[in-house]
Amino acid sequence: MTIVLLGAMAVSFGTQDWISGGVIAALVILNVVTGTTQEWKAEKTVARLESVGSPIATVVRHDPSSRRKEGHASQVGIETVVPGDIIILRNGDIVPADARVIEGSVATDEAVLTGESLPVEKDEAPLLKGQDYPIGDRINMVYSGTQVTRGRCRAVVCYTGMNTELGIIAKEMQSKGEGAEKQTVWYKFKKGLGVVEKSPLQIKLNKMAYFLFACAIVIAIIVLASTAFNDIRRSTATYAVAAAVGILPASLVAVVALVLANACNDLAERNALVRRQDAVETLAAVDHVCSDKTGTITLGKMVVKKVWLPAENDKVNLDVGQNYQVESGSDAFYPRGAVAPIRADMSSRPEDDDAAWDEDAVDPFDLGSFLKDFVLCAALNNNATIHHDRKKDSWNVDGDATEAALQVFAHKLGHGKPTLLKPPSQHPSGTRVRRVTTRDSSVPPPRSASPSSDRIHNVIQEGHYELIVEHLFDSTVKRMSNAWRWIPENGASEAPHTIAFLKGAVERVLDSCDFIGLGSKEQLNEELKSKIHEKAEKLAEEGLRVLCLCAKVLPADQSDQIREMSREDFEKDGFCFLGLAGIFDPPRPESAAAIADSKRAGVLPIMLTGDHPSTAKSIAIQIGLVPRNHPRNAVMTGPQFDKLTEEEIDAMPQLPSVVARCSPLTKVRVVDAIHRRNKATIMTGDGVNDAPSLKRADVGVAMGKNGSDVAKQSAEIVLADDNFSTIIRAVRKGRSIFDNLSKFLLYLLSGNVAEVVVLLIGLAFQDEEGRSVFPLSPVAALWINTLSAGPPALCLGLEPTAKDTMSKPPSVYKTIFTIEWYPDLFFYGFVMGALSILNFVLVVWARGKGDLGIDCNEDHNPSCDLAYRARATTYATLCVLLMIHGLVCKHVEMSLFKMDLLDNKPLLFTVVILCISVFPVVYIPTINDKVFLVQGLGWEWGIIFGAIAVYILAAEAWKFGRRRFARYKREDMESPLGLRMAATQEVKILNKEQV
């Protein structure tokens, strides 16, 4: 566009048409400034959002306002990490800097540095002095950019930025000319054309712009050919350029970039942080949303609601056992509350009966052997920590939500992990403190004379525990284990020993159990295991996430053997079943509405969760994902789905709505199954193992709160609030942007069609000398295309979301250039062009005598009055019709008289201002006859308003036909034949399920 305008300016100045050249120069400057400003704003917004999901570091730093001597862990951007910082690394983290391990052990993937495909084990063991170790052998160092694949450690930062091993490699690559292909002239040329390094939509629009540029050249040749290429005057040359410009949409790419950037910014304000702009384009057309349950559909603030132990009065009894209910309040992390047994004649305890809770509450100082072992497992087989924020006067946790729930439960019974790890000499006084129920969690903990009363009351042990080995939770095996050494104080009644803990999904943990209870050692056979499974099913049916906890005692002198033992051997057998924990994670209040909106939009949600099938089913029913009488295959487990072949999956009428006990591999298979059906999907994930499915999905969505760095970098969108409804809002916004792009492209290109119709047909009007008399002056044509069309198009790109956006199927949003879009384009364009040229004809031949004067394209003379008035009429008609057309394009089917024109005030304001701008052009002397080659109007306003009325009637008739056609398609689907086809399909589904 700018190149063509520069050509027009050069032609005008070259032919000494100073007025036209000056006006065109002003248009060039305005177009360049506007386009550059818009693209700069867009690039600035995108650059800011692309930084979202970049790796962060967990750093231990001293807080002067805190009494804690060891410092407080906080998450910071990796750019703020400095040498000397102590960082905490966990499974899934990206190492932010080169650092020395000082505590714990991890395995890191160093393929980016060494090419080694297997993870390298790291620990705090020192290396021998005086030897030069290669990177792969420095087993006490972790390196920037590598990924932690398992384990947990603390490390002190040694090098950052370009001083790291990765930074040194980056320097060498830069010095050797990294990306040689991108340095070639051809690549730079394509980049300058905008056909590489842009989003798919921008590349398509750029290619369309070059096609229109080719059309512009053809149009210019046609204009010049009208003179038989003889005696081409300066006005004809400028007119040829103006006609060529008329087919080009002004500032198309800049407007698209700004609209997409604004969409990304708007989504960011709604907690959906778009890392790659092309994701906005894809969101509109997704057919499925595959989402996690925990923390996304549910609140993610878990609390232990019920506990079942396989004993009654410390005696094994699997038929009845003992159920406990845990008191909880509005603050899920408040570490106080009662734990009370549930009598056999009641399913749960009433939450509001304070007296009953106080009377029956378990005494933390007298738990009983079964409950105490269960609490020890909950506390020690756990990496979550609880701390009190004095500034906000609230309790916070660091770590996984499930482990946080178990840790809070252990704290409520006085056996929190910090208490168990400290020797008795390091504890404050063990004096009992007043038990505060969780219903008091809105007030700070009581402050009495006891030093510990403003924190958490603890049960002091006769020793402490030290960690021997730990195997973190792995989504592939769905369990976590560790081993601890018990170190008693002098005079303690309990001898030194080693205890191993294991927790996880019932079906994955129970197979490792051979006994019931640490003390009883009663054998656990298959019959008893089936009873435990029945208890787990009952808890899951209440919507609780069920975890199985178990332990085994080992000799104290086997620490080294345990440390060297593989995870498989460590977790294989010999464990004692301790009990079941029922963890409640309520659905988010907005999840049900989001599911309903998703289904109404034809976007089918699929819940992929690691939870028990009954738990997943209960939540799915609560939020309306599946009905109570759902088909059998609507709820499946991961193993069931994985056993199906691709042919069997493809033969399913519909993919399952819930997949429980879902592994990362199952997620990948679900995505592949959706793609084989030629559908698009969103996939959510938070763990390292979710990266393959996030990358394979059309739009990967990572969790911002609890997601790993690897997951965030694999995703196109990061949710700041981990909320399922935010995904649906993002889909809604994506559809809105799609609609707006379609509207403003329809407006721009139909306006171009109208202008070209006027300019080319106008070549047929000739004066007495046989020269064409232009219905629009070149300056007027350029003015309309640049100033009159651009602002309304931009306002249409910012149109608010239509009410029916989420009532259309995804197929509507597969492409902008649909079969219906092209008839709209040419209909509106030809109608506006025809009405404008008709008014020119009416002025010249209906009221006038057809006298077009002599040489009226160059300057005004007395013979040109009629031609100038006709030209002014054409200009005013086309300008006003374009403004009305801008309002018509707000909706492709809705009547103009039913639209809410005030919902887009910038558009309405722009339309009014540009309509008023017609009057200065037509009536101000010198501007009208010297620049635009027009004269003031009188009676001609009558036919201009007549053209407006005809255009509105034509548009309403066209939209009426569109509505009838859309209704016909809907009625065809709802016809008896369509219903019979649907019923036949349903019968087939039921028959398959019965088989």
**Residues with a known catalytic role:** 292
Side-chain half-sphere exposure of 625, counting CA atoms within 13 A: 29
For the chain, how far is it from start to end, CA to CA, in angstroms?
A: 65
For residue 768, give both structure tokens. Answer: 């007495």
Could you tell me if 281 and 570 are in contact, meaning their C-beta atoms sit under 8 angstroms apart? no
Angle at 808 between CA 803 and CA 814, to 5 degrees: 120
Cα–Cα distance, 663 to 606 (Å, whole number): 14
607, 293 Cβ separation under 8 angstroms: yes
Task: Please choose, from the candidates 214, 83, 104, the residue with its C-alpha nearest in 3D space to the C-alpha of residue 148.
Answer: 104
* Cα separation, 115 vs 138, whole angstroms: 15
543 vs 540: CA distance, rounded Å: 5
Q: Tokens 């290396």 map to which residue?
A: 127
Angle of the 724-761 helix axis to the 252-269 helix axis, nearest 10:
160
Q: Are strands 98-109 and 120-122 parallel, antiparallel or unpaired?
A: antiparallel
**767 half-sphere exposure, CB direction, 13 A CA radius:** 17
Residue of 59, 48, 53 lying closest to 703 (CA atoms): 53
CA distance 169 to 456: 50
SS3 386: strand
CA torsion through residues 404, 407, 413, 414, sign: negative
CA 288 to chain centre: 14
Contact 77, 56 (CB under 8 A): yes
Quickly tell me which residue has 């997949």 as its tokens.
659
Identify the helix (H) or strand (E) that includes residue 324.
Answer: strand 322-326
Taking alpha carbons only, the member of 791, 801, 971 closest to residue 886 is 791
Residue type, position 662, single letter = C
Angstrom CA distances, 365 to 338, 341, 459, stand at 13, 16, 6
| Tokens coding 295 | 């923390």
